[in-house]
Structure 1
Amino acid sequence: MRSPLNVLHVITGLGIGGAEQQLRLLLPHMDRVRSSVVTLTNPGPVADALRADGVPVTHLGMRGNRDLSALPRLTRLVRHGRFDVVHTHLYRACLYGRLAARLAGVRTVVATEHSLGAAQIEGRRLSTGARALYLAGERLGHATVAVSDTVARRLAGWGVHPARIRVVPNGIDVPRFAFDPAARRAARRRLGLAPDAYVVGGVGRLAAGKRFDTLIRAVAAVPGDARLLLVGEGEQRERLERVAREGGAADRVVWAGAVDRGLPELLSAMDVFVSTSPDEAFGLAIVEALAAGLPVRYVACPALDDLPPGDAPGARRIGGTAPEVAAALASVTRERLPVPAAVHRYDIARSAQQLMSLYDELATSSRTK
């Protein structure tokens, strides 16, 4: 029987976000791996959750993007841990983590590209300099994991050699998101939503790229007393509150804030899910909404667009303007739907098995060189 691989995950931060939550979700399913985590900055709620799961987490205390003193500290940590694999996540961690792993002599270095959009990366506009630095760092690793076929094509278009790109999609714990009528009633009571209210849902970081202002304006234009349940936090919160006030929708928006384990209950409280983001790398929140049996309307979602037609019959692609979103909402039937085939393609245990197979393949290859 093979001994478990000793794997270090290096990530930029551990606040509540898609990449951070995905890492936490993966690790319990990687039974042939002994995992540790280093966060360069912000040991937030996901760090606490990982420690509660029994995963060692180290905070490197990096002070900013150009804190070069972090590199020797990270290199010493990697060398001392005698890791078989270093796996990096998010732009800054990929740059520093790949270099530290190489300096420490680690023979298998993997990175996951979570957030490469068509025109932005991690919500920031792409530039020639960012691309050049990304490609220089990428060459220090042995494989780059794309979370969707769309991201794989973007990486290849940037100049990453196709042989170095592997697709391992994001995953979810499908049964956890099953619709729960009791949770729906409890969540609506807690949030002050009437049992018969028409509740539109949106989930994600309150950042400009998510276009939640469009969703607020669309819900304000829906006839009747539609309500919008927004789940997430971010730097755009005050601006979005102002948009709601100025559009006469202040009493229509319920701000749920950031959540860790409570998302399934909030999805149960919704009647339809909308994603107005025009540029996504995967679209994890959309898959979670489908797992909750919600009809979905979205502007961009590689997780669905990369699949054969018919795998998600309850999801419809729509235009991204407020009138287009409002028109789409007005025609949605308020009924729970069966969980579609698309959701079962993205089971987290399946993604974890794919990653472990990649580790084994790369580790075996490094030993034969």
Structure 2
Amino acid sequence: MDGFVCVRVVQMHGADLELFQFQRQLTWAAVFLNADGTIYGRYGSRSERRGMKDNDKDISLEGFKKALEGALELHKGFPANKAALAGKRGPAPLAKTVEKLPAAPPEEAKPARAGDHGCIHCHQVQDWEALSVWKSGKPVPDKLLWPYPMPDALGLTLDIRERATVSSVAEGSPAARAGFQAGDRIVALDGQPVISIADVQWVLHQAPEPFTLKCEVDRGGRKVSVELALSEGWRRKGNFASSLSLGWTLRMQLAGMKCDALSPDEKKRLGLGEDALAFRIGEITPEYVKRRNNSARKLGLKKGDVITEVDGRTSSMTETELLAYLAQQKKPGEKLSLTYLRGGESRQVELDLP
């Protein structure tokens, strides 16, 4: 750490969203910067919401130390390597600061003052970005719903104790078809030097679809080039409903309820086919949630009701797919047609979207 000037940012009030672009659904993150704003890399990964006992599953002190070492190596090569680092700065954000996001609640986004205990959390930035797009009447893009995908979605598991080293490759996966092997250390992706799993996520996050990602790996001291094919919609394999807050925000503010997909056995007991749509309502948005869709409560929907049809759709879907449908195919003020079972009786309602 002696080679760094360490700056700790504990909340997002006034933070430059153009400079500080990273996976928001995290407990903490590190951005390695040159004094002129050039980014050497990032550290901090989280594949899904985790409890206190396992929230370090995707990070380690060993991996952080090696990312620090990698950043110092890149610093020694600066400015000769500046062109290769340009891609580590992302496109212009929706707003320069979080306070200027249209969906940022005024009471929470007000400027911080000395002595205030209020805090804008990192995860709230992503939540408000997604809501800002939706409230404008536009579909929320995949990049906001499934941001910074873990390489596991492509069959590539990386060792959290190393920079970006492959520990295993899933058989039949895009990574396997590309020719990745256990032990490969990813040196560069799309021309960008890589020093952490978070750096891999950054490149995957920014990549268009479909796309062929050019990769440079170190395989036992030998440089090997690999091409990784990204198909249209590949990142949709992720489960944002279980993320730190995005899933919670969308279910509370758009759906107004939490829905749990039924297992095949549960469907069978209800006389439903294995591929039938079936959600059990696990919770109606509590009244203490200030910004909520109260329509489900007003319609009389209850915990335990089983939804079997959504806007005429009867095929199986996950809660993530349901929330994505609301965020990408429905607009503010529209209605959502629902058919549900209660006590063996089928009922129909129309849910109002906010």
TM-score, normalization by structure 1: 0.25
TM-score, normalization by structure 2: 0.26
Structure holding more strand per residue: 2
